[in-house]
Structure 1
């Protein structure tokens, strides 16, 4: 038996996939316990903080993906100069964004109808740490150091889970500020392991060709991550703005369950980008990798949608409790919207890896469309979900059409 296990050695990629599943499971447990302990009304405040965390992760993901891509391309001294420059820029951006959140904490409290502004102050203090953390992860991702990459995600998740819930249960404190402190401390734990030698305060200069290449990919990635923020988080923030806290808490539980497929898809995105960049660098065909991951995500999404349609009340009761059962009829619909977004996301990240910008613009257009539809049509939570389905059906359809057109154009060029 032991000999058999040794002969079937787990690859670094498989280890990372298992780690991501564990991290997503831990984050889900964190959210579920908060939902049960706090109840719908108080959970609405927690959902705002969790959504801010997701928004921050998308913004910082720009630095992570840029670092990952050019960690594949650059080597030796060129890589050292590059990574040092990225760290310097990430720290500056992190400090600016963190300061803005702290300064406008009162405004954020009014806009999102939260019980406290202090939770935004604590969150803002942690923002620079998260940007440093993301560059560190990008270097591990690009070098395919999946063991170290797994540890950073595990450390962040476990610390947030145990510290936040420990403070709540030990001191019987059900405050959004406590949740913010848990998030802040988890950022520090997420820095483990960290390569301090990559950070340098010395002025770093890259040649013009390298700088232009990095800048173009950075702008492209930043724009795409902005569309991710809009599509993935605007609905929760808009619902928190337009609806009462109780309804917003119910919707937050619906979103959390329905997004299972998206968080699973993220695991494949982490593997997709460095693989596609490496294949392109070697002059090999990249489309089979796209088909492989689209197949995985489509299959997983289909199973989750069917499960949500057949057992909605069971899923909600097990995960959140009877207080959230009003959302049962909408569960499969939300899962459908998220599933289509997850599949279209694989197409977009594939082309992003190849420096093609059209699918990124497509995502931006339909992200704005989704937000606009919810702004104009929000008479009920059901209508909010229906607007997202409409936007995501159109987005996935256009992405598939673009892919077919792109393949046809490539085939024409090869014939000539």
Structure 2
């Protein structure tokens, strides 16, 4: 157990206390109170970077934890995130955050299909505080538009953010496209796996676990310009078997087939309401998406982590996770001629059947 003293603001207020004040405002969906907390901290001498990363980012992490534990709804999670985004904007325009550009130019963006923009926004604000000229493009940036922007601005580097692993094929395309025009890429976000394992696999020039680490890395020196002759699939020879392509292209058909057969394989589904049936179809679509991503990376651990998380989320919401193994079995039957897909699905089934889940959402 740690006995260290929590960090304090200049006037002696612990950062933990400030984060709790912001959480109280955010959880009550009180935007006025939230911005008042942030402005008060800045007015009293707190550094903008501390407020962004040790207060706002910490509270946003708690928002995610509360949603996963089913203690707040999707609507509440969206409202809380919007308030945290507003709080970050308040920091950016406060006099304490005014800095002079002393470094180069960086573009910060989310990969195509990634709508979780707050982590990228926090990084953009921190980089501004560190003296960079920053172009923040926001969430869900199509790669052609990103490349057009880079041609126009001649940025020294790109920082790409992605929170959801199913966006990794798009991230790979973006990384390769940026490098093809000579712009190095730093990536970050939960999508890139534990320790950033997928960042290296997909050829990124650098990876950072969070905004502070990313800013520190860039402060060590500019990323070297990449060679422009790198081919996107050189390091992913397994894609030659076309399993990823076929699963990705036929995702909707796979979901329909499994959904139709699941009612017989899992009789409890027959009593589902229309809402529950819609959610089941959504869950199946996510399973197929993550299977496709695991095939893209040839990494069964990615799928195992996802299916474990899904079981925890279902149990936390009072939905038995025992419906997952039959769904994986049906999907495996549909893909019986796909050896890598079969291996990945078998790994997921083993995890579900050997690590039962409690109603609290934890493995027993």
Give the TM-score, by structure 2 length.
0.29
* Structure with the largest fraction of strand: 2
Between structure 1 and structure 2, the one with the greater Rg is 2
- State the structure with bigger RCO (CA 8 A, min sep 6), 1 or 2: 1
Give the TM-score, by structure 1 length.
0.26
